[in-house]
Chain A
């Protein structure tokens, strides 16, 4: 039971991050009807932007010293006499890194949003109204371009980035067993859930959210009602890329940074189809379910079997419910 709980909680935490990645795919699909096969690689580039702004720039000679490591007097005083690996020490380490973490996240979000805008303008806009196949294949081509570009700019070597939260171990009792977690993982989960919730709320309640929903319903009607559909498209891409940058930063802190981060995109694509392409709720449930399933598989069968869980799950779901768990059935005109 104790083991089960531990793995279930681990699964929920990675599921939340899957949900954060998935929100980018769903947003772009809702607005533009394009499924972005390259979303994983957009995230990978976002992670590299985080790496650039949080590691490379603060490490440069011309950068101010406080950016790389913030050491105000009170912080140094508090550090005095702390034992190694104490929770307090972890928090203080994090405070030291805080400037470059914030700088990194801000830089990554902005740079990646610009990338999303660029992709939309140069590749997607010319194909407006073309067949689904062409749209999908363009994003498939984008996979190679982004992967190649990232290797060209940042080289293929793996590296590490600072955690976005204090990484102190957390222990607590639940149903009579001790659960062991890392502070950074908990914060990552909370960040992922908050962003997911914010985007769902935005689509539901704000004016631009209504524009996205109207465009999803019927592009030409939305256009004739005075909604600038091209603007909705570029907003959706920027939103997806910006959330992708945060997801990328979180993934990079968990797994280290390398071009293979892009592969997450494919398992998340499977999750999105499982949940139903246009349903935030369905995708959220599917993401958590796959996260937990992966953790359970890891526990029972070992680490490598976990990597095909999303793919097996999506095949099973598609065979039973072709439009995903909560997806809207497409109505086709003959």
Chain B
């Protein structure tokens, strides 16, 4: 039990930040992000940008899998849809829409298109759940990537070799450095987290959680499964679309193979490692999932002394570490890092009494 947490009204109980510690944590996070934007070196900015892009997508997966209980192994498809929508929109409307407004229109369009695709992919969720849904979404991922790679659409998508993507431009301010992109990504990342935290104090969010806990009971209580399952898919796909849009803006070129099953698994892995159905879970998870390969890379570099003949062993080692992360967390800490953080905080709160 958390002490010092007296609530005198329902309104106070339902606040986004329901105690002062959360406010303090939020303010501190903002300060750290601002400090990073100003002072961090280029490598840190690059890694942080990758984390931010991945974070938004993981939050999306968390909405559908963590909160609504629908297993999805195909969310990379929505990231792909978002990224390609931005690229195609920029190419298609070049000259029609002034450059300064392009990104402001392209990002919402990408989000909307992804949400629409999400509703279509979510349709099987009305009939099936559990692993049938996992395979249905996995199939959707294969199909979407396959369509992107087709020669017939290569005029728009670039086919197998990918497509160059523009840098975003807000009213003439072009975000052409990684540092400027970091500001955009961090701002949208924080907004996403706040929006999701807020979502789960509303009727819709509670409906999601009810469906996760027992879908039949939820239906008996008057929650329309049709409506809320599809809403859940739409919201999560929309977030993945946003992540995809940022992906397209951040990198100079996107390739279809970047959005294959491996990315879907990475999103799910980050969610499991961080903690499913928790707001901060994706944050912890993404940090671990992005940092572990980087740490292995640097350790590997030290261990082998940068020998070229050993370099081909790096990727398999990273693969194994990634798989082990999923397996070990499921075996030993299925509630994820967030739960570990909870325990640590609780122990601190109760110190010096029980652990």
Contact = CB atoms under 8 A, between A and B. Distances in A.
Contact of B142 (A126, A130, A308, A322): A308
Contact of B320 (A134, A145, A304, A332): A145
B330 A141 contact: yes
A145 B319 contact: yes
Contacts of B142: 266, 307-308, 311
Nearest to A126: B331
B269 interface: yes
Contacts of A156: 312, 316
Given A132-B130, A319-B123, A137 B326 contact: yes
A147 B316 CA distance: 7
B327 A145 contact: yes
A147 to B, nearest CB: 6
A315 interface: yes
A123 B131 CA distance: 19
A149 B324 contact: no
Given A143-B323, A148-B318, A136 B71 contact: yes
A144 B146 contact: no
Interface string A138-153: 1011111111111110
A47 to B, nearest CB: 17
A270 B138 CA distance: 9
A137 B316 contact: no
A142 B325 CA distance: 10
B135 interface: yes
A30 B71 CA distance: 21
B131 A136 contact: yes
Contacts of A127: 330-331
Contact of B334 (A134, A142, A146, A304): A134
Contacts of A126: 331
A134 B324 CA distance: 14
A155 B311 CA distance: 12
Contacts, number: 128
A132 B132 CA distance: 11
A35 interface: yes
Contact of B319 (A147, A270, A334): A147
Interface in A182-210: none
Tell me the interface secondary structure of chain B in the complex: helix
A141 B320 contact: no
B146 A315 contact: no
Interface string B122-134: 0110011011101
Contacts of B327: 123, 138, 141-142, 145
B135 A269 contact: yes
Contact of A314 (B127, B136, B272, B315): B136
Given A138-B327, A148-B323, A266-B142, A273 B132 contact: yes
Interface residues of B, number: 46
A126 B128 CA distance: 28
Given A152-B316, A308-B143, A273 B135 contact: yes
A245 B263 CA distance: 28
A140 B326 contact: yes
B319 A144 contact: yes
Nearest to A259: B316
B61 to A, nearest CB: 12
A179 interface: no
A151 B315 contact: yes
A318 interface: yes
Contact of B313 (A134, A152, A273): A152
B139 A123 contact: no
Nearest to B65: A133
A334 B268 contact: no
B326 A138 contact: yes
Interface string B29-47: 0000000000000000000
B146 to A, nearest CB: 5
Contact of B331 (A123, A133, A332): A123
A132 B129 CA distance: 11
Nearest to A311: B139
Contacts of B135: 269-270, 273, 314, 318
Contacts of B149: 304
Interface in A145-168: 145-152, 155-156
22 contacts: A37-B134, A130-B334, A132-B131, A133-B71, A136-B71, A137-B272, A140-B268, A141-B322, A141-B323, A142-B323, A142-B327, A145-B319, A148-B317, A148-B322, A149-B320, A152-B317, A304-B150, A308-B143, A311-B142, A312-B139, A315-B143, A318-B135
Top 8 nearest A-B pairs by Cβ distance? A148-B319, A141-B326, A144-B323, A145-B323, A311-B139, A148-B320, A151-B316, A141-B327
Interface of A: 35, 37, 123, 126-127, 130, 132-134, 136-138, 140-152, 155-156, 266, 269-270, 273, 304, 307-308, 310-312, 314-315, 318-319, 322-323, 332, 334
Given A142-B327, A156-B312, A334-B214, 12 more contacts: A37-B134, A138-B331, A140-B73, A140-B326, A143-B323, A148-B319, A151-B315, A152-B313, A311-B138, A315-B124, A318-B128, A332-B216
